[in-house]
Structure 1
């Protein structure tokens, strides 16, 4: 599966919430047919927002289904909370979905931020510093486990890390193939320069790490500004139950013009 850190890619996050699974499957199939580069879901237990009462489906079960029901785009979670699953088991799950999908999995990882979800499902929820330490431990364990699984993954599974704090950015520099940031404007430029510095300290070329951001609005106006700040993957969000892909189509048109 082609992945070009120096080019432009467009992704979509299909929120697995407030919809029947048939609607989620159709949205993923339509995005795949449109030529999107990556299809993401998310790793939550309830819909985001104040109202948690809506329909919701579990992240990795959906990814296993998408591995069979899509055929072109990469697939993954934006992102998996490392506190919700044993890290070695998560590596095995990722390797399995990698094989089912024919080498299309992106392994998106993060420290987690929804304390209410962790409490509801009986997981510990540490301080921000502890959760970053747990992320680093999980990344090391996942890499070790992926290296010894039989059969091995079909390729070097790309690791995406969503992070913006200074300690987490060091983990991005060491482990990630893709960095997803929530920073905007000047803060985005500052974070990107911090990541470059960490890469240089490790002897790594910063250009090896693709940079990703959520986007909305006019791609012909928004896209070039983000490109100047180093963003290469532009991720559109669509929510159920209707999953309107009109905005995704505009971003794909902008990508294809380039």
Structure 2
């Protein structure tokens, strides 16, 4: 069964680096790759988002460098990098470096940022939702320009994933800059946002088929998988938190992917 876009169904896994020792995370990454996950993501926070707010936690990009060395097949990336935490030129250089370490398997996931505790504790200006999205809009061209200047250059055109569902500003940035768009929500929310993204693409003169559509999912694929795929969504990402990293639902989504892709 093919998808409406002709792209294969892919399954991502966000390993949330909270409440776990790094040995637990390393084992989880290895198991995910062995199971056949297409992309393994972490996230870009400095504190847990659930459970004990002062619990164990590890930094995003140093971890991606380690994953680049210890994996061999899966793509890797952050879901998503917070634009506020790093100078755009530095982030581009970091991404290029992990791209080389991984042999061309990095996805540059990026978003405007939202978790106020990260900002306050690490000394970043929190601003407003509008100012953070405006900053993201300024950063994306700078990242693209730095990629073109780096020596050596990236091994490939590093796919840029933009996470967010803001219908006026974020989706317009997706239309202009993203190779992958990631959002959240049920089938009806996804249907509305896909339609709005298509209109933004028309407004900026871009073929919407160039953008892979991704969504965060949970539970069983029987509930919504086929309906979401009919909307042109082809990347389905589950989340798993430490310290246990339960992969039960993941296995069901992987089996669904394989049945869809034939």
Displacement of 1:189 in angstroms is: 1.2
Which residue of the partner structure matches residue 110 of structure 1?
111
Count of paired positions: 255
SS state of the match for residue 124, structure 2? coil
Taking structure 2 as the reference length, what is the TM-score of the superposition?
0.95
* CA shift digits 1:111-160 (9 cap, x unpaired): 00111210110000111111111011111110000111000000000000
Q: Is the 8 A contact 1:6 1:207 kept in 2?
A: no
* CA shift digits 1:177-234 (9 cap, x unpaired): 0000123332221111111011112221111111111111111332102112221100
Distance 1:5 1:100 in 2: 30
Q: Is the 8 A contact 1:5 1:208 kept in 2?
A: no
Displacement of 1:5 in angstroms is: 7.2
Distance 2:185 2:220 in 1: 19
Q: Are 1:142 and 2:128 an aligned pair? A: no
Distance 2:197 2:85 in 1: 27
Distance 1:193 1:95 in 2: 33
Aligned Cα root-mean-square deviation (Å): 1.2
For structure 1, list consecutive stretches of 5 or more residues without a partner in the other structure.
Answer: none
Q: Is the 8 A contact 1:146 1:153 kept in 2?
A: yes
Q: Are 1:183 and 2:179 an aligned pair? A: no
1:1-258 aligned within 5 A: 6-49=7-50, 51-165=52-166, 166-258=168-260
For structure 2, list consecutive stretches of 5 or more residues without a partner in the other structure.
Answer: none
Q: Is the 8 A contact 2:69 2:102 kept in 1?
A: yes
Distance 2:245 2:219 in 1: 17
SS state of the match for residue 232, structure 1? strand
